[in-house]
Amino acid sequence: MAIYKNGNLLHHSQDQAFDAVHSPGTAAPFAGIYRCATCGHEVGIAHGHTLPPQGHHQHAPGIGPIRWQLLVFAQHNP
Ligand SMILES: [Zn+2]
């Protein structure tokens, strides 16, 4: 689970971007932290990069494939 200290520096959002589930190896729509919806493994992704491929980390047999979900969106200053 992602950990933070200064909650006043984070903004709570209901944006649907946080509900979308992305396949391994596809373009990350935003820079930020992504969480595997299957096992909870988290990764940081830079702007313009792709999500880690299937096989990036191991799952216990039978729980299913890696599925990435946006956890924290990194907001860039204009
Ligand atoms: Zn996983």
CA of 37 to the centre of ligand 1 (A): 7
State pTM to two decimals. Answer: 0.93
5 in Cβ contact with 36 (< 8 Å): no
CA of 35 to the centre of ligand 1 (A): 8
Both tokens of 61, joined, read 């047999």
Position 76 scores a pLDDT of 85
Q: Give pLDDT tens digits for 8-47.
A: 999 999 999 999 999 999 999 999 999 999 999 999 999 9
β-strands 68-73, 42-45: how paired? Answer: unpaired
With b for 16 or more beta-carbon neighbours within 10 A and e for fewer, the 50-67 pattern comes to: ebbeeeeeeeeeeeeebb
CA of 30 to the centre of ligand 1 (A): 19
